[in-house]
Amino acid sequence: MSEDASLAEAGRAPRTSEARARSLRLLLYNIRYAAGTGMAFNLPVPGAGYVRPNKANLARITEFIRQQDADIVGLVEIDTGSYRTGRQNQAELIADAIGHYSTYECKYGEASVNKNIPVLRNQANAFLAAPRVHGERFHYFDTGIKRLIIELELEQVRIFLVHLSLKYRHRQYQLRHLHELISAGDKPVIVAGDFNTFFGEHEMYLFMQAARLKSANVDRLPTYPSRSPRSELDFVLYGEGIEVTSFDVLKARFSDHLPLLCEFRLAEPPSTP
């Protein structure tokens, strides 16, 4: 499938103002710093795409995101202004293009040596949001290399964006920390991100039970690698008080991960007899 065909297939029709008032649309996408995919990514040496500018692919990703008409966009693996982006912040570029607010932070720990290394210090995660934001917080895991947790607080819901460790043991410690954060609030919760769960939802079973979360991906559709998906690494999890009205894993191959699009609304409270 060509990149232009991928854009055409993955687009979504804009919603009416009435539809926006009833629900929120969340797009989750690990964009891999817009480094691209396929053979070109590994030429002239494996992984060369990570250090090579790719403005054309960022433009395709931006247009794809614009087409989804999402109220909230969670972006994993964005560049906030290294030499490979021409010192431009990918989160701000995309946010400006779609008319959203942006919040972002380096994905490594506050005391991490990576925050002093060129390119690595610009590797981050970000939220782009259209609704009024009531508050944003940056939390950090105690273990793993990728430690950032972004919490976005809207009027009636809290949304967390994460990128968990590649190591199974570290992921389990991180899930415990995440459970504690979720339990500390009283609003309905959504947790989205790249969980790096190479065993799929099974390795998160206890965490999801304890936090009373469900996966929007009820069919357990794989999200990685994008060219021939085999593993379910990316998740949108939601808690009590939230009703998912639609969910898709989109066939957009601008990154090594496929994007997730989830539409949800606050569940109606049970009626009193």
SS (H, E, C) the chain: CCHHHHHHHHCCCCCCHHHHHHCEEEEEEECHHHCCCCHHHHCCCCCHHHHCCCHHHHHHHHHHHHHHCCCEEEEEEEECCCHHHCCCCHHHHHHHHHCCEEEEEECECCCCHHHHCCCHHHEEEEEEECCCCCEEEEEECCCCCECEEEEEECCCCEEEEEECCCCHHHHHHHHHHHHHHHHCCCCCEEEEEECCCCCHHHHHHHHHHHHCCEECCCCCCCCECCCCCCECCEEEEECCCEEEEEEEECCCCCCCCCCEEEEEEECCCCCCC
pLDDT tens readout for residues 131-147: 778 789 999 999 999 99
pLDDT at 9 over 80: no
* pLDDT tens by residue, 228-268: 999 999 999 999 999 999 999 999 999 999 999 999 999 87
Of 224, 226, 217, the closest CA to residue 254 belongs to 226
pLDDT band for 216, please (50, 70, 90 cuts).
very high
More confident residue, 71 or 273: 71
Q: Residue 3: its pLDDT value, please?
A: 56
Per-residue pLDDT at 148 exceeds 90:
yes
What percent of the chain is modeled with pLDDT above 90?
A: 76
Give the pLDDT confidence score for residue 135 in this predicted structure: 87
pLDDT at 215 over 70: yes
Is the Cβ–Cβ distance between 159 and 72 less than 8 Å? yes
Give me the mean pLDDT over the 156-168 stretch: 96
Per-residue model confidence as pLDDT tens digits over 102-127? 999 999 988 899 999 999 999 999 99
Closest CA to 78 of 48, 42, 34: 34
The per-residue pLDDT for range 43-67, each reduced to its tens digit, is: 788 888 888 888 999 999 999 999 9
28-40: average pLDDT: 92
What's residue 39's pLDDT? 81
The b/e string for 151-175 (b: 16+ C-beta within 10 A; e otherwise) is bbebeebbbbbbbbbeeeebbbbbb
Whether residue 8 has pLDDT greater than 60: no
Cβ neighbours of residue 237 closer than 8 Å, sequence gap 6 or more: 190, 191, 192, 208, 211, 213, 214, 215, 216
Question: Is residue 17 over pLDDT 60?
Answer: no
Residues in the chain: 273
